[in-house]
Amino acid sequence: MSRSFRRGATALVSASIVLGATAIAPAIPVLAQDDGCTVEVWGDEITHLALGKAAEAYTAETGIEVELISVPFSTINSDYETQVPAGGGPDLIIAPGPFDAWVASGIASPLELGDALDAFQPAAAAAALVDGKAYMVPLWTENIGLIRNKALVPEAPATMDDLIAAGQALVDAGTTELVVAIPMDPEGGNAYLMYPFQTSFGDHWFARNEDGSFDYSQPTLDTEAGLAFARALGEWGASGAISPDVGFDIAVDRFITGKTPFLVTGPWDLPAIKEAGIDYAIDLLPSAGGSVAAPWLGVFGLVLNPKSDCALAATDFATRFMVTPEAQVTLFEVGSYPPAHKAAFEQVASDPDVKAWGENGVAAQPLFGDPVANGATWGPIGKTQVAILRGQGDPETLWKEMAAQVAAGLEEPAS
C-alpha cells in the first residue's frame, strides 16, 4: 500500500525495558533453539519499540532472543516486498492490514489462530483475514483525530470553519505561525490524513455495497461531493490555512513548540506531545462539508515471513504470546496504541486518550486491500491535493483530471 503519511520519529522507549515480576504469558517448556535462533522483527521508527517489553518477557520465558529492528516507515513495506522473495527479510514484520497483495505474491504466511481471533475487535479480526485465512496477529487499531493545544484554544472547534477561524486569529495576533498542522509530503501530499475532510463532503472515493464494502467498479471522485472538496482545498490553500509544505517532523515540532494550536495525527505522535508537557485534548475531527468526518481505520499486526529461518519460534511469539491481553496492554503502555484485543482494550478504556481515539473511530472506515484500487488512488489523489493547495490550476479541472486518471488505473492490473 502506498500512503504518504508517517509516524513521528521520536523514540518512545528503549526496547530493553522489561516487565516486572509478573510474566505476561503462561510458562511453557523452553522451545528447542535451532542453532541459536533469534526472532527478527521489523517495525518502523516507532512501532517496533512498542514490542520492547513483550520481547524481553518472551526471551525470559523461553530463552529465545527477539531482536527488534527499526526500518524507515517510507521503505519498510517495499524493503520487505523486495527482500522476502530473495530469501531475506525479517521473521516477522509489524504492518498494517489488509494483506491481499502480500498473500497474492506469496510473501505472507497463514497463521493458525483458531478461536483466538474471536478475542479481538471485529474490525481487527476482519483485517487479519484474506479469503477466510488469518495472515496477521492483530496488535492495535489506529485512526486519526484532531489534537488541540488547550492553552491556545480552550474549546474544541465544531466545524472546519471554526477551526480555521480560531487558528487564523492566533496567527493574525502573532501568537502562532500555522492555523493547523497537517503533515504532508511536499509533492505526494497526504491523502490518508486529508480523507476525513473529504468524506465530510460526502465523497468516499468509491460507491458502497450493501454490506458497507467498497465497489471498486464505481469511483465517486468525479461527483459534486468530490468537486466541492476540491474547491475547499483551493480556498484553504489560497488563504494559507493548510500548507503542503508542513512536513512530518515540522508538523509535530510546530505543535509541541506552541506554533500551531491544532495537529491532525494519530496516537503515534502522543509520546512526543506528552514529553513536551503540552496540555492537550484529542477532539473529534471537524466536518468541513456538513457530513461526518470519517477517517481510515488501520489495524497493525504481526505478519510471518514464509521463508523465515526461525519460523517455529516466530510463530510461537506471534500466535501464542502476543494474543494475550497482558501482552497487548503493554503496547498501550509504551506507545499509546489502543489494543486490538477486546479484553486488553477494556483494561485501558478508562484512559481519556483511548476514549477520544475511539470516538473518532466510530465512523472510521477500514482500509481496503485491493491492490489495483490501492495502486490507482493514493498517489494521484495526494499529488492532486498538493497541486490544488499550491494553486497550480483550477481546482475542479485538476480534480477531474485526477478522477479520470484513477478511473483508468482501476481498469489496469496492479503492478
Query: 3-state SS string over 278-315?
Result: CCEEEECCCECCCCCCCCEEEEEEEEECCCCCCHHHHH
* Domain segments of the chain as ranges: 38-142+298-366, 145-294+370-410
Rounded CA separation 366/298 (Å)? 6
For residue 210, the one-letter residue type is: E
Predicted confidence band at 21 (pLDDT cuts at 50, 70, 90)? Answer: very low
Cis? peptide before 286, omega within 30° of 0: no
Question: pLDDT of 341-393, one tens digit each?
Answer: 999 999 998 999 999 998 998 899 888 888 899 999 999 999 999 999 999 99
Query: Does 230 have pLDDT greater than 60?
Result: yes
Quick one: 38 exposed, middle or buried, by C-beta within 10 A (0-12, 13-18, 19+)?
Answer: middle
Domain 145-294+370-410 annotated CATH 3.40.190.80? no
Domains 38-142+298-366 and 145-294+370-410 alike in fold: yes
Average pLDDT over residues 91-95: 96
Residue 412 in this model has a pLDDT that exceeds 80: no
* Average pLDDT for 267-279: 93
Contacts for 398 with CB less than 8 Å, ≥ 6 apart: 230, 384, 387, 388, 392
> How does DSSP assign 81-145, residue by residue?
HHHGGGT-S-SEEEEEEP-HHHHHTT-SB----GGGGGGB-HHHHHHHEETTEE--EEEEEE--E
Q: Which three cell numbers stand for residue 52?
A: 520492547
CATH architecture of 38-142+298-366: 3-Layer(aba) Sandwich (3.40)
pLDDT band of 413, cuts 50, 70, 90: low
Model pTM score: 0.82
